[in-house]
Amino acid sequence: MAEPIRVLVTGAAGQIAYSLLFSIAKGDVFGKDQPIVLLLLDITPMLPVLDGVVMELQDCALPLLKEIIPTDKEEVAFKDLDAAILVGSMPRKEGMERKDLLKANVAIFKSQGAALEKYAKKTVKVLVVGNPANTNCLIAAKSAPSIPKENFSCLTRLDHNRARSQVAMRCGVPASQVKNVIIWGNHSSTQYPDVHHCLVNMSGSELACFDAVKDDAWLKGDFITTVQQRGAAVIKARKLSSAMSAAKAICDHMRDIWSGTPENEFISMGVYSSGNSYGVPEDLIYSFPVQIKGKTWKIVDGLPINDFSRSKMDATAAELIEERDTAVTFLGV
């Protein structure tokens, strides 16, 4: 049996974590023969709820789950981590200005970044899920200067999976037959779901997405807005935000970091923009198409970008610059 790895989930008493923890503990993410020590962090008032989650994990009788450590203390939660999944964040309350939301989250992710810096392994892989995920990720990375920037990423895999599924349903094929959709930019309604490089396997032959769908107006219109606004549509229907699908996307994202992406296939994740070949401004966490090998991601280079795509990629970058610049002013506070 391999040595156990230490995996942290924050916001561990929340609804995304409730859908996520079983999959991690069962071996769906880090491997079927990888034992796990699960560290569960939440705020003090949530500890009684967290105890219930711990009981349920114990009651699953999972062979890979070696230890469960529930806590409200960062020095306990972040110690010697191999992986950190930062789900907990300040949700937007009614009537709350975006600026106030950013300010509250800068405080959280500055503190968690500092805890990563102080207590975690320098090889730790950090996935930020809590919104605004891109900017929260940037703040955490800036607050942990001795951990490589490449070790930080934010979740846009849920958007990626949504886009993939929309194309698959439109073409009447399983989602596994659709590959290489791209989410560019921010995990917000300015994100750009791009299918210009997407391939659909239709009865054994791979077609370009536009040839498979045969409806350019839909692909350049309703498809994009459906993916951009899917989170809001789920909230409207369920009165709760996406949890099952978010947990599945987190599993996909971390599994790909741990095990790599399939040959000739790329996925979307928010990563450091510095040095990219697509003219995206430096010093942002921006969603790109990436391939992963040996736990290292690489932006897929050389994809042709048309004017339609360029304008949408620039619009989401502009929003991220504004978010970053606002957030950075709170960093010194």
Catalytic, 187? Answer: yes
- End-to-end distance of the chain based on CA atoms, in angstroms? 47
H or E, element range at 136: helix 133-142
3-state secondary structure string, 178-197? EECCEEEECCCCCCEEECCC
**Cis peptide, bond prior to residue 45, ω within 30 of zero:** no
Strands 125-128 and 152-154: parallel
If one counts every other C-beta atom within 10 angstroms of the C-beta of residue 201, the result is 16
Please check if 181 is assigned to a binding site. Answer: no
C-alpha dihedral, 320 to 323 to 324 to 329, nearest 10°? 170
Contact between residue 196 and residue 306 where contact means Cβ atoms under 8 Å apart? yes
Distance between CA atoms of residues 187 and 306, nearest Å: 22
Cβ contacts of 132 within 8 Å, gap of 6 or more = 101, 102, 105, 186, 187, 188, 323
Contact between residue 34 and residue 5 where contact means Cβ atoms under 8 Å apart? yes
Please check if 33 is assigned to a binding site. Answer: no
For tokens 């942990």, the residue is 144
Contact between residue 283 and residue 247 where contact means Cβ atoms under 8 Å apart? no
Please check if 162 is assigned to a binding site. Answer: yes
- Selected catalytic residue, list 160, 187, 197, 253: 187
Please check if 134 is assigned to a binding site. Answer: no
Please check if 42 is assigned to a binding site. Answer: yes
Residue 128 region by backbone torsions, left for phi larger than 0, else alpha for psi between -120 and 50, else beta: beta
Contact between residue 203 and residue 194 where contact means Cβ atoms under 8 Å apart? no
Residue-level length of the chain:
333
State phi, psi for 127 to the nearest 5 degrees: -115, 120
CA-nearest of 136, 107, 123 to 330 is 107
Please check if 130 is assigned to a binding site. Answer: yes
Catalytically active residues, by annotation: 187
Annotated binding site for substrate: 92, 98, 131, 162
Annotated binding site for NAD(+): 42, 105, 129-131
Annotated binding site: 42, 92, 98, 105, 129-131, 162
